Amino acid sequence: MTKQTVAQGSGLLLLLAVAAVFPLVFTNPTATNFAVVTLVFVAVASAWNIFSGFSGYLSLGHAVFYGTGAYFLTVAANDWKLSAGAIFWLVPLAGLAAAVIAVPLGLVALRVRRHTFVVITIAFFFIAQLSASNLSVTGGSSGMLVPQPNWAGATFNNPFYYVALVIAVATIVLAWLVRRSRFGLQLRAIRDDEDRAAGLGVRAMPVKLAALVLSAFITGMAGAVWVYFTGEAVPQFVFDPLFDLAIVLMAFFGGLGTVAGPVLGALVLQPAQLWLNLEETNSYSSEILFGALFLVVILFLPRGVLPTGAEYLSKAQAWIRRRRAAPGETAREPAAGADDAITPTSAPGGAA
């Protein structure tokens, strides 16, 4: 057990070290560009998962929070005429703005049944998109520019990279903490059976709302970093229905409700999508492929790559062990068997 923890811990540290030196090794702007956007999506997919993956309430409206953060930074940076570095200090404020928006949305949307909730989040998304295109403060449908820093081209991406990395790592740590906390347990109780959870004393509404606000806070920060990086806030890109589907797909792909799943999903799918956009200039190819991949995941890997993979792995291990044990003695079997038995039963959210 302790050996495993040490191994896992050192593995994670190694990953973190690799992430920290990545822009120093791969100095190609295209590579760092991909990395920044991917890290933003790691944060967003994990944040989405903290609310939707843990509580079972699927949100297709997280673009509202992403866009709120993005527009907050854009408008504030333009109005307050901040210096390039100082604009980064707007990022947590942008997160706060998204969190504030999340409170009334949550109070309305979390009153209904789960599938109605999905639909209401879609409706909120459309309201937000429409408002962004029609309000004067957001620059209407033509959008607004974010003042860009005049940093050297070769290392231009690096500050964005490290800010995104900090947010992404913090989100993953937060997801891990939430998952093993009382709060996380309450969320999962709500996911499994809300009525019963309420009967056992979980105050469902505050718990769900807290998770949504937390999730919105991170999503808003990620949106702010992203818009500063891309330099432009245009309604149809800031509020993009594909954005919502992309993060849902990332979480489903890796494993809904696990800590590592959405991270893996973002690390695999986001670079793939960026690469595809470079290769194919038309948008419809990626749209068709995206939809097809989504269908494949839902139909064949509904619980995600990690849980399903872990299940297959433990099955294979058990099979190998049986093969080994079959001719000889069976004395070593019980300890290993007991260890394996845990994996399938705790599978839905078990493979953290």
Partner 1 sequence: MGTEIAHAIADGILGGGVYALMAAGLTLVFGVLDIINVAQGILVVLGAYLSYVLSVHLHIDLLVGLLITVPAMFVIGVVIYWLFIRTLRGAERTSMTLLACFAVALIIEGVLYREFGSNYVSLNAWYVNQSVHIFGFYLADIYLIGFGLAVAAVVVLYLILYRTTFGRAVRATMQNQTAARLIGIDVNRVAALTFGIGVAVTAIGGMVYGSITSFTPNSGYDLISRLLAIVILAGMGSIGGALAAAVFMTTIEALVDIWQPDWSIVVFYLAMVIVLTFRPQGLFGRHAVRAQ
Q: Which residues bind partner 1 (CB under 8 A)?
A: 56, 58, 60, 108, 111-116, 118-120, 122-124, 126-127, 130-131, 134, 193-195, 241-242, 245, 248, 252, 282-285, 287-288, 290-292, 294-295, 298-299, 302
Which of residues 17 and 123 has its CB atom nearest to partner 1 in the complex?
123
Which of residues 41 and 290 has its CB atom nearest to partner 1 in the complex?
290
Minimum gap (Å) between residue 148 Cβ and partner 1: 29
Q: Give the 3-state secondary structure of the chain.
A: CHHHHHHHHHHHHHHHHHHHHHHHHCCCHHHHHHHHHHHHHHHHHHHHHHHHHHHCCCCCCHHHHHHHHHHHHHHHHHHHCCCCCHHHHHHHHHHHHHHHHHHHHHHHHCCCCHHHHHHHHHHHHHHHHHHHHHCCCCCHHHCEECCCCCCCCCCCHHHHHHHHHHHHHHHHHHHHHHHCCHHHHHHHHHHHCHHHHHHCCCCHHHHHHHHHHHHHHHHHHHHHHHHHHHCEECHHHHCCHHHHHHHHHHHHHHCCCCCHHHHHHHHHHHHHHHHHHHHCCCHHHHHHHHHHHHHHHHHHCCCCHHHHHHHHHHHHHHHHHHHHHCCCCCCCHHHHHHHHHHHHHCHHHHCC
Minimum gap (Å) between residue 134 Cβ and partner 1: 5
Minimum gap (Å) between residue 351 Cβ and partner 1: 17
Minimum gap (Å) between residue 252 Cβ and partner 1: 8
Which of residues 9 and 291 has its CB atom nearest to partner 1 in the complex?
291
Which of residues 161 and 290 has its CB atom nearest to partner 1 in the complex?
290
Minimum gap (Å) between residue 119 Cβ and partner 1: 5
Which of residues 10 and 283 has its CB atom nearest to partner 1 in the complex?
283
Which of residues 114 and 324 has its CB atom nearest to partner 1 in the complex?
114
Minimum gap (Å) between residue 98 Cβ and partner 1: 19
